[in-house]
Amino acid sequence: MKQFKTLLIAAILILGASNTINAQAKVAHVDVSEIMSKMPAMLDAQNQLQKLSGTYDAEYKKMVDEYQVKIKKYETEAATVTDAINGDRSKEVQDMQKRIVDYRDNAQKELQQKETDIVKPLMEKVRASIQKVGKAKGFQYVLDGSTLLLADGPNITADVKKDLGF
């Protein structure tokens, strides 16, 4: 019975030690935001989005300027025209306001959708590269270094950039 207890305790210690050894995993970190911000395709995408945003802004400004000119004109002429004309002008101004607000909202939605359409494939490409580099270097876990509080493990950001070709 005493030998059985000793054997049982030894088995528990051996199993506990092997679990501790298996629990230690190889971990690395990578800074995805740095990669994305310096990725040539992402820089091109940002330029493309800025141009599109500039186009929308110019059209929006043109609509607002036209609206302000009409408001001033209608305010100065309000006393000299009939109530029916003033009513029509008021409706026209309200319609212009609605078109301006709708245009702004649609432009914002289109910009957000365009950004998503551009960034998603780039992010997938970065993620695939991280997985490829991580597996090649034998890491079981790769953490995004932009949110780490302590990063003593290897940083594979440069390796991922190299794999992506920049």
For the whole model, what pTM was predicted?
0.67
- Expressed as residue numbers, the domain containing 73 is 2-164
Name residue, tokens 């305010």.
75
Digitized pLDDT (tens) for each residue of the chain, 166 residues in all? 566 566 456 556 665 544 444 456 788 999 999 999 999 999 999 999 999 999 999 999 999 999 999 999 998 998 888 989 999 999 999 999 999 999 999 999 999 999 999 999 999 999 999 999 999 999 998 888 666 556 567 888 888 989 988 8
Report the number of distinct structural domains present in the chain.
Answer: 1
**pLDDT for the residue 5:** 60
Q: Report which residue type is found at 79.
A: A
